[in-house]
C-alpha cells in the first residue's frame, strides 16, 4: 500500500559514518482473536553518527517493537538490523555494548545509590572495567548528581531520578542511544531538560533514535523523521523534505496527510 505521494527517501549527510542499518525488519505477534498481527511490517532505514532520527507514530504504530528488535530484546520475524555493523541476532552482546536504551519507564533499583547504579550498568554493559570509576565520576559531574550520588535512588526527587536514569543509559558510553517516548509523564521542565540532553548527545557525534507521538518534539529535535503507521514507514525525510513533498508546513498536517493517504 505505497502511497503515490510517498516522500523521497534521501540519504542522510554522507560525510558521517553509518551506525544503524535496518532492512526489511518485520515482527509478527499472534494475538488472541486477531490472529497474526504484523506490528512491524518490513521497514528500512539508516542512521548516521551525529543525527537524531525520529520514529513518529501514534500508539500501536510499532515504535517500541522496532526499538526492542534493535536493542535485541525481541527477535525479528524477518529482515535484518545492524548496529555499528553488528547484527542484532548474530552479535547480540556487541549490539548491547554499542547502544543505550531509555524510556519513560526505564527502571532504577530503588535501593542502589546513584553512584552504584552507574557503576552497575557500566559493568553490565561491558565498559572496560578500568574505565568504570572515571566514567561514573564524569556522569555524576555532567548531570549534577554529586550532592545525591550516595543517597539511595528511592529517596530522590522525580527530576533527579530522571537524571540518574539517563546517566544510567549512558553509563557504558555507547555511540548509539535509543529514546522511546522518553517524555511521557514528565513535567515541562523535566521534558525540556531531557530534550537538551538529546541535543548534547547529537553534538557529541552520537546517533540518537527518538520515538514520539508528539509533533513539537519531533519538529524541534529530529534531523530526519520516519512516519510510522501500522508497522510501515509511510514517509522518511527531513522536516524540510517532508514539507516540500506534501506542500504542508506543520508536521501535524504532514503526519495526518500521510496516514489518511495510506488509509485510502
Ligand X SMILES: Nc1ncnc2c1ncn2[C@@H]1O[C@H](COP(=O)(O)OP(=O)(O)O)[C@@H](O)[C@H]1O
d(CA 226, CA 44): 10
Nearer to Mg ion, 67 or 236 (CB): 67
Nearer to Mg ion, 63 or 115 (CB): 63
- Does position 106 bind ligand X by CB under 6 A? no
- Does position 81 bind ligand X by CB under 6 A? no
Range in contact with ligand X (rule: CB under 6 A) among 8-16, 53-61, 119-127, 238-246 = 53-61
Q: Which does residue 24 touch among Mg ion, ligand X, none (CB within 5 to 8 A, set by kind)?
A: none
H or E segment to which residue 207 belongs: strand 207-212
Per DSSP (E only), the strands in 32-167 are 35-48, 52-56, 78-83, 86-87, 99-103
- Does position 54 bind ligand X by CB under 6 A? no
Site for Mg ion, rule CB under 5 A: 63-64
- Does position 46 bind ligand X by CB under 6 A? no
- Does position 22 bind ligand X by CB under 6 A? no
The CA–CA distances, whole Å, from 97 to 72, 100, 144, 145, 249 equal 11, 8, 25, 24, 39
Q: Which does residue 60 touch among ligand X, Mg ion, none (CB within 5 to 8 A, set by kind)?
A: ligand X
Rounded least distance, CB 43 to ligand X, Å: 12
Rounded least distance, CB 77 to ligand X, Å: 12
The CA–CA distances, whole Å, from 130 to 122, 127, 136, 153, 171 equal 11, 8, 11, 25, 14
Cα-to-chain-centroid distance, residue 257: 24
d(CA 58, CA 220): 18
Rounded least distance, CB 213 to ligand X, Å: 8
Q: For residue 197, give the nearest of 144, 237, 147 by alpha carbon.
A: 144
Residues in the site for ligand X, rule: CB under 6 A?
29, 31, 37, 39, 57, 59-65
Amino acid at each position: 500500500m505505497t502511497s503515490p505521494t510517498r516522500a523521497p527517501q534521501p540519504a542522510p549527510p554522507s560525510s558521517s559514518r553509518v551506525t544503524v542499518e535496518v532492512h526489511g525488519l518485520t515482527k509478527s505477534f499472534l494475538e488472541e482473536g486477531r490472529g497474526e498481527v504484523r506490528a512491524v511490517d518490513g521497514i528500512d532505514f539508516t542512521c548516521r553518527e551525529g543525527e537524531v532520527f525520529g520514529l513518529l507514530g501514534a500508539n500501536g504504530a510499532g515504535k517500541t517493537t522496532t526499538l526492542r528488535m534493535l536493542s535485541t530484546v525481541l527477535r525479528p520475524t524477518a529482515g535484518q538490523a545492524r548496529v555499528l555493523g553488528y547484527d542484532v541476532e548474530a552479535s547480540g552482546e556487541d549490539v548491547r555494548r554499542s547502544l543505550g536504551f531509555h524510556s519513560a519507564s526505564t527502571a532504577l533499583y530503588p535501593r542502589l545509590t546513584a553512584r552504584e547504579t552507574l557503576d552497575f550498568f557500566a559493568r553490565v554493559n561491558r565498559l572496560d572495567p578500568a574505565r568504570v570509576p572515571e566514567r561514573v565520576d564524569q556522569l555524576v559531574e555532567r548531570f549534577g548528581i554529586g550532592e545525591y550520588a550516595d543517597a539511595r535512588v528511592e529517596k530522590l526527587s522525580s527530576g533527579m531520578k530522571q537524571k540518574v536514569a539517563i546517566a544510567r543509559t549512558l553509563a557504558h558510553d555507547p555511540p548509539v542511544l535509543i529514546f522511546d517516548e522518553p517524555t511521557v509523564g514528565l513535567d515541562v521542565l523535566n521534558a525540556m531538560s531531557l530534550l537538551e540532553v538529546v541535543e548534547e548527545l547529537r553534538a557529541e557525534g552520537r546517533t540518537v533514535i527518538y520515538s514520539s507521538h508528539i509533533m513539537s518534539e519531533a519538529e524541534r529535535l529530529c534531523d530526519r523523521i520516519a512516519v510510522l503507521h501500522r508497522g510501515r514507514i509511510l514517509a522518511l525525510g527531513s522536516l524540510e523534505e517532508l514539507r516540500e513533498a506534501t506542500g504542508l508546513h506543520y508536521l501535524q498536517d504532514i503526519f495526518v496527510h500521510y496516514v489518511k493517504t495510506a488509509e485510502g
